[in-house]
Structure 1
Amino acid sequence: MQKIVLNTTYYMISQLSIVAGFREKKSYLVDAFFTRPFRVANVGQYKTDDDLYLMVMSSSPGLLDNDQYAISIKLEAGARLQLQSQAYQRLYRMQTGAIQNMKIMLEPGCAFSYVPHPVVPHQNSKFEGHTTIYLQEGCELLLSEIITCGRKHSGEAFLFTSFQNLTEVYYKQKLILKDNVLLQPRQVPPGTIGQWEGYTHQGTLVYLNTGEQPVQVYLEKVQQIVAAEKGVFFGLSQAAINGFVLRILGHGGEQLFNCFKRVQGAIWQNNLLPEAPVPAKSKAPLLVQQV
């Protein structure tokens, strides 16, 4: 590991690099490099398909003050990688803060899916994340994030200092989607209008497809999956390009995580397609359902 200086503060960089390849109609791990606390495990031994399934593991209980994670993921042409997390990501009490930078690069014809466990920001934690994704022709991207209010059963609901995660997606070097989540409970109470309004967990799932498969055929089925959940409020909207964004408010991290896993499983196995094609004129509007 190495040290860098950011704003006169020393940060310890933990690195993770994954390269996935495709050969003879099968995805495989080309290279994996990591420093403490990261580890990478192959969890696809019992899968019946030829995709690559990896789990990112950590020997650390969570992100500590002055931690910086640098993550790089590259998929060579044709590769399909489903990345998994090991457990909830905890953000511990901090004075300076922790940083995570993730860079994902997909060459033509790739598919990448990542539905990590929820993030639990402890009291006085500070986190800043930046995810940059580069897509080429014929790619599929599914990426999600779940943020909790903290350890609410320990009386730490919304007692973290700040949480920010910026996601930017580029297609052929052009910005096509930008999502900036910024939470500062001490400055903007989460219970106010336009914020979480009484809910304690927020989930966001992004799906983009730069191939020929129109995502309109997915929207109704995704809505059905989420509408089956009790006690949630959600919005499902079609992106400006071929894709959609799903945002959910709820009261349980495990519930939102399992819901996202069901959406991921259906899309990954390509079984969300309806029996009849959606008419060309029916561009999906914003769909909101409360149950």
Structure 2
Amino acid sequence: MKADLDIQAVSRNGISHLGRCYFSPPFKVMNITEDKTQAQLHLMLMSSSPGILDGDEYNLKISVEENASLQLFTQSYQRLFNMKQGAIQKTDIHLADNAAFCFLPHPAVPQKQSNFTSINKIYLSNNNSLIFGEILTCGRKLNGEIFRFSKYHSLTEIYLNNKLVVKENLLIEPSTININAIGQLEGHTHQGSLIVINNDLDLNAMNDFITHHLSQQKDIEFGVSALSIKGLIVRIMGQKAEQLHDCLKYIASYISSYKILANAI
């Protein structure tokens, strides 16, 4: 199935609203903003499909206009079903000047013989705030499908004024690599990453907070690195999807309260 999504957040009188909104099946979009007077727009991305199927091709376009702020939620875990040819999802995100965007989707669950490629391209302008996360599981662990998928490839490129500044390339093909080897997952079954970009970011303070919080968690390994621009990338490995997702959401919430994203989350 081929499907398209095109949504736009605009700002009027300091409050973000849904502007352009187009989607084709299986996508649906719902405005879940509880306080209509708050600055940030909350949208839920939903799907009538049980997951991503063989041959699916999804094209998503998200635009956040000048001074607007958008947080996009997902409805449930992204299930990747058994495939022969594979499936692909392309996401283009455009942030105008002073725009803010936050997206922490539910973890991806690749089932046996799934083959999935995700290409994310994010275009920043001036004075943007970005929080962008991703979590990959080993598959349906209780069904014995631990790393039984064929391929999972996630490529994220971030451009600042059309110059490539961040490139995150995750490729796992269990049949061709030793998942538990040094430099790979080393016995962990889940991994997550979080990219934070903001000109107001206090890198040292944020690094200290993230390190302190994650060091209190059980059965995870993590690292925090500064980007070439004003931002951080956090990488976590563990055994439970919900735990990693909660960690990313907690960090994102703290960033908001730390005046990194105005009125976010």
Q: Partners of 1:48 and 1:251 in 2: how far apart?
A: 40
- Please identify, of 258-267 and 244-253, the stretch whose mean Cα deviation from structure 2 is larger: 258-267
1:60 aligns with 2:56: no
Q: Report percent identity of matched pairs.
A: 40
> Equivalents in 1 of 2:84, 2:142: separation in Å?
23
Alpha-carbon distance in 2 for matches of 1:152, 1:75: 37
Go from structure 1 to structure 2 and tell me whether the alpha carbon gap of 1:262 and 1:213 turns closer, same or farther (over 3 Å shift). Answer: closer
Higher RCO (CA < 8 A, seq sep 6+): 2
- Following TM superposition, by how much is the alpha carbon of 1:222 offset from its aligned partner in structure 2, in angstroms? 1.7
Quick check: 1:89 aligned with 2:78?
A: yes
- Give the superposition deviation at 1:212: 4.3
Aligned partner of 1:242: which letter?
A: K
Any idea what SS the aligned residue of 2:252 has? helix
1:217 maps to 205
Corresponding position of 1:246:
234
**Which residue number in structure 1 is paired with residue 104 of structure 2?**
115
Report SS of the residue matched to 2:83. Answer: coil
CA distance in 2, matches of 1:183, 1:104: 24
Consecutive unaligned residues of structure 2, counting only runs of 5 or more, are: 261-265
Q: Please report the TM-score for the alignment, with normalisation by the length of structure 1.
A: 0.87
In the TM superposition, what is the alpha-carbon distance from 1:146 to its structure 2 partner?
0.3
Q: Max radius of gyration: which structure?
A: 1
TM-score normalised to structure 2 length: 0.95
Relative to 1, partners in 2 of residues 1:196 and 1:47: Cα closer, same or farther, differing over 3 Å?
farther
Deviation at 1:262, TM superposition (A): 0.6
Question: Deviation above 4 Å: which 4+ runs of structure 1?
Answer: none
Distance in 1 (alpha carbons) for counterparts of 2:139 and 2:32: 29
The structural deviation recorded for 1:215 is 3.2
Q: Using the TM superposition, give the Cα deviation of residue 220 of structure 1 relative to its aligned residue in structure 2, in angstroms.
A: 1.1
Query: Do 2:26 and 2:47's aligned partners in 1 also have CA atoms closer than 8 Å?
Result: yes
Unaligned 5+ residue runs, structure 1? 1-11, 273-291
Alignment length (residue pairs): 261
Please tell me whether residue 51 in structure 1 is matched to residue 32 in structure 2. no
Mapped partners of 2:242, 2:36: distance in 1: 24
**1:105·1:133 contact (CA, 8 Å) conserved in 2?**
yes
| Cα RMSD for the two superposed structures | 1.5
Distance of 1:31 and 1:179 partners within structure 2? 29
Determine the structure 2 residue equivalent to 1:16.
5
Moved more, 116-125 or 39-48: 39-48
The answer to whether the 8 Å contact 2:201/2:231 transfers is: no
Q: Secondary structure at the match of 1:27?
A: strand
Asked if structure 2 preserves the Cα contact closer than 8 Å seen for 1:225 and 1:262, the reply is no
Equivalent position amino acid for 2:44 in 1: M
Tell me how far apart the structure 2 counterparts of residues 112 and 32 of structure 1 sit (CA, whole Å): 17
